[in-house]
Amino acid sequence: MKKSIFITIALFSFLSLMGQDNKTEKKTSKTTFAMMPIHNSGAGFNNVFLGSHELNERKKLTFYSVFWVNPSFGNQGKDLFLETGIGLGYSLANNKLYLNPSLGFGHGKLLSGAAETKIGESLIPSLFMVYNNGNFEFEGYTAYYMSLRGEGASQDLLLNWVIPGIKLNKHLSVGGFYEHLGQTRSDSGATKTLYQFLGAYVKTTLNNGVWFRFAAGPNISNDNLNSKEFYKIQAFIPL
């Protein structure tokens, strides 16, 4: 499975040349890459690698990797959780709406409860959505982390967020922020909300496509597994 994942990523990152017309002009296919470092007070730091290959003007092949470095997700810095996935991105409503369903796999021991790394320990279907009409922006995400190779202490998780906002100008936007992470199944039988953040954000966008977003507010979860206040900082950096 590990070899097939790396082969798939290599295929999607290949730049092809296609004939344009009878003059045999060639153009480079539109393949893009970006990095997205994220840190929040509940789950810690992770670095996301994003890629897309344009199939036509409204559809893209997409792929991603998420490198989690929270030591509690592994064994003292080893066996850390890794996500790899592939999806399709659709541009709709005159490019104001973007939908990206993906199917990913988790590797490590976080969901399986195993003593050490398991390749393909979990299945991660997800849906990402962005809407932007020039004045209003909205981002939504949901992902289900389902254990595939449980060893007696496995769990399933649900992660989702909604982020509506108003663009004050082309460089600055503000809005609301909600993010939830909770257990939906556990071998122990008891489930819990890991965190539930509700607050506000401010976002700056630069002319080169880079943006930064900082969110903060109260943790409204009653399970008291995380601090009563939260922060999350995130950047998007095209390569």
pLDDT of residue 19: 39
Q: What is the mean pLDDT of each run of 10 residues along the chain (239 residues)?
A: 39 38 48 96 93 94 95 88 97 95 96 93 97 94 96 94 96 97 92 94 95 96 86 96
Closest CA to 68 of 109, 15, 27, 127: 109
pLDDT of residue 8: 40
CB 128 within 8 A of CB 141: yes
CB 12 within 8 A of CB 27: no
pLDDT of residue 159: 97
**What are the residue ranges of helices labelled H in the chain?**
2-12
pLDDT of residue 151: 87
**Per-residue tokens: 212:** 């930064």
pTM of the shown model: 0.84
pLDDT of residue 190: 86
pLDDT of residue 232: 97
CB 235 within 8 A of CB 203: no
pLDDT of residue 14: 40
